């Protein structure tokens, strides 16, 4: 019995060690990504012409023949990815992911495995190559979105959200799944061979049984890592990244879509899982006339929110058929950039603080530097929960001016927690000062010790 117990313990121990090792490798691989915190998502394809989002083909059951008119008309004469890259950089973004192929199957790169590509449309160019060159030239990291689903390939069956699902004639066709997965692997291999160092591979998406090994995911991921050993992968091949020992294809980060989780994301062993919330600027990924744009305030606060929980924000733009990022998106990006010019120190390389969320805003933290993000102005002093004796310095991030730090101005009271400390945005302990920035005013503190 004793032997069995010892054996079980040694197995558990080696399993822990193993998974710790894999975990550490992922931490190392994702370091730049977790430091970057802010990226640009680009959904661009021929669906910009109907301008009703990238799902238009399925939503309106458009046949391949009828969709062809968009391919034949795709002529983005104003495409200047260097301008896109400058807009991203000025906004404070550090990386960009562009759709190489979306669900409609149309390739924005010059693949030798299909004729269904931008080079054969009036565009006549490898749009992905230009994207990669331009963003790299501006110092941003680059990644590819690649749809596992394909509504154009003759061997991808008309199941699920396929535009021809329910079409009797189409259903009579024979589909050769191996042909499709080979096609997919070949294209991924092209993308990771012909365009230099690629920083992120962003697969989308798995559903029902079209998940995991249905995509030959282990084989695919091994090929990806062989071609690009340092690349990081999203988690949409169908694995579970939150397991103590995730599948080989579970990816390197979790990707909440159109939501910001309420807490940091942890795995079964309570360790941090890198994550990236992908969020649209209006309500579509691909270009559309939807006018419900997020404001600069929404975006800045979303960014601070995700960073306060150890996450990233991947903010989407949907360029139009001419190749322009909509002006409304550019305006938001530029205002976000103005805020980042002053406050990015509280974003890059930062993560959660071991403090609960205060009433007046949020905390982000890097090493022994704590950033207080004030989004709600206060009456008088601002409390720092449980931080009495733990803050040794406080200044406004924008201009380094000194902040008042002390106890409640009117002595001990039953409604004041003894362990809280207070700061204020001006010299007086009990004055009320206007926020420097209504959207998010950042105060920077040095901590003496956060563990006490």
Do 106 and 152 form a contact (C-beta atoms < 8 A)?
Answer: yes
Q: Residue 391: helix, strand or coil by DSSP? A: strand
Burial of residue 168 (CB within 10 Å: 0-12, 13-18, 19+) is: exposed
Q: Measured from the CB of residue 257, what is the shortest distance to ligand GLC in angstroms?
A: 5
Q: Measured from the CB of residue 281, what is the shortest distance to ligand GLC in angstroms?
A: 13
Contact between 290 and ligand GLC (CB under 6 A)?
no
Residue (205 or 360) nearer to ligand GLC, CB: 205
Q: Measured from the CB of residue 373, what is the shortest distance to ligand GLC in angstroms?
A: 26
Contact between 106 and ligand GLC (CB under 6 A)?
no
Structure tokens at 319: 């360029």
Residue (45 or 157) nearer to ligand GLC, CB: 45
DSSP 170-220: HHTS---HHHHHHHHHHHHHHHTTSSS---EEEEE--BTTBSGGGGTHHHH
Do 448 and 391 form a contact (C-beta atoms < 8 A)?
Answer: yes
251 to 280: interface string for ligand GLC, x by CB under 6 A: ------x--------------------x--
Contact between 203 and ligand GLC (CB under 6 A)?
no
The alpha carbon of 58 is separated from its chain's Cα centroid by a whole number of angstroms, namely 25
Contact between 285 and ligand GLC (CB under 6 A)?
yes
Angle between helices 327-343 and 81-91 (to 10 degrees): 40
Q: How far apart are CA 265 and CA 164, in angstroms?
A: 38
Match 């939150």 to its residue by tokens. 242
Residue (293 or 433) nearer to ligand GLC, CB: 293
Hey, CA dihedral for 284, 287, 291, 295, is it positive or negative? positive
Q: For 285-337, list the strands marked E by DSSP.
A: 311-317
Q: Residue 235: helix, strand or coil by DSSP? A: coil
Q: Measured from the CB of residue 374, what is the shortest distance to ligand GLC in angstroms?
A: 32
Q: For 221-299, list the strands marked E by DSSP.
A: 232-233, 275-279
236: Cα within 13 Å, side-chain hemisphere: 19
Q: Measured from the CB of residue 416, what is the shortest distance to ligand GLC in angstroms?
A: 46
Contact with ligand GLC (CB under 6 A) among 175, 205, 207, 210: 205
Contact between 215 and ligand GLC (CB under 6 A)?
no
Match 């040095």 to its residue by tokens. 446
Q: Which of residues 26-55 bind ligand GLC (CB under 6 A)?
A: 43, 54-55
Contact between 207 and ligand GLC (CB under 6 A)?
no
379 to 418: interface string for ligand GLC, x by CB under 6 A: ----------------------------------------
Q: Measured from the CB of residue 29, what is the shortest distance to ligand GLC in angstroms?
A: 21
Q: Measured from the CB of residue 231, what is the shortest distance to ligand GLC in angstroms?
A: 18
107 to 126: interface string for ligand GLC, x by CB under 6 A: --------------------
Q: Measured from the CB of residue 252, what is the shortest distance to ligand GLC in angstroms?
A: 16
Query: Residue 288 has what DSSP assignment?
Result: B
Structure tokens at 430: 């009990």
Q: Which of residues 50-79 bind ligand GLC (CB under 6 A)?
A: 54-55
Contact with ligand GLC (CB under 6 A) among 204, 252, 267, 437: 204
User: Which spans of this chain sit near ligand GLC (rule: CB under 6 A)?
Assistant: 43, 54-55, 204-205, 257, 278, 285
């Amino acid at each position: 019995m004793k032997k069995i117990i010892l054996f079980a313990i040694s197995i558990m121990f080696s399993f822990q060690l193993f998974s710790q090792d894999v975990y550490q490798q992922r931490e190392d691989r994702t370091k730049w990504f977790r430091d970057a915190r802010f990226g640009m998502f680009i959904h661009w394809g021929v669906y910009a012409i109907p301008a009703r989002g990238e799902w238009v083909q399925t939503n309106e059951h458009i046949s391949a023949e009828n969709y062809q008119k968009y391919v034949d008309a795709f002529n983005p004469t104003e495409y200047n990815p260097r301008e896109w890259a400058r807009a991203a950089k000025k906004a404070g973004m550090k990386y960009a992911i562009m759709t190489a192929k979306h669900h409609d199957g149309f390739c924005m790169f010059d693949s030798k495995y299909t004729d269904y590509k931008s080079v054969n449309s009036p565009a006549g160019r490898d749009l992905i190559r230009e994207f990669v060159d331009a963003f790299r030239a501006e110092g941003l990291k680059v990644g590819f979105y690649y749809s596992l689903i394909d509504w154009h390939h003759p061997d991808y069956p008309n199941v699920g959200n396929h535009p021809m699902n329910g079409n009797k004639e189409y259903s009579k066709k024979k589909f050769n799944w191996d042909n499709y997965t080979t096609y997919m692997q070949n294209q991924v291999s092209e993308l990771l061979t012909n365009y230099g160092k690629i920083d992120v591979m962003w697969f989308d998406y798995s559903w029902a049984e079209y998940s995991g090994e249905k995509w030959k995911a282990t084989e695919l991921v091994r090929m990806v890592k062989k071609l690009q050993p340092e690349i990081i992968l999203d988690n949409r091949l169908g694995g579970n990244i939150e397991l103590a020992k995730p599948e080989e294809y579970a990816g390197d980060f979790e990707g909440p879509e159109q939501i910001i989780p309420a807490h940091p994301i942890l795995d079964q062993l309570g360790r941090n899982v890198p994550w990236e919330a992908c969020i649209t600027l209006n309500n579509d990924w691909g270009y559309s006339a939807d006018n419900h744009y997020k404001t600069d305030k929404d975006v800045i606060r979303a960014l601070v929110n995700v960073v306060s929980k150890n996450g990233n924000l991947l903010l989407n733009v949907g360029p139009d058929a001419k190749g322009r990022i909509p002006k409304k998106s550019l305006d938001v990006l530029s205002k976000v950039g103005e805020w980042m010019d002053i406050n990015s120190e509280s974003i890059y390389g930062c993560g959660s603080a071991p403090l609960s969320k205060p009433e007046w805003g949020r905390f982000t933290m890097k090493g022994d530097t704590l950033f207080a993000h004030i989004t709600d102005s206060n009456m008088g002093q601002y409390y720092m929960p449980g931080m009495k004796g733990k803050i040794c310095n406080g200044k406004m991030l924008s201009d380094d001016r000194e902040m008042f730090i002390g106890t409640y101005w009117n002595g001990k009271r039953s409604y004041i927690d003894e362990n809280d400390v207070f700061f204020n945005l001006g010299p007086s302990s009990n004055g009320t000062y206007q926020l420097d920035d209504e959207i998010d005013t950042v105060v920077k503190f040095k901590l003496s010790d956060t563990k006490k």
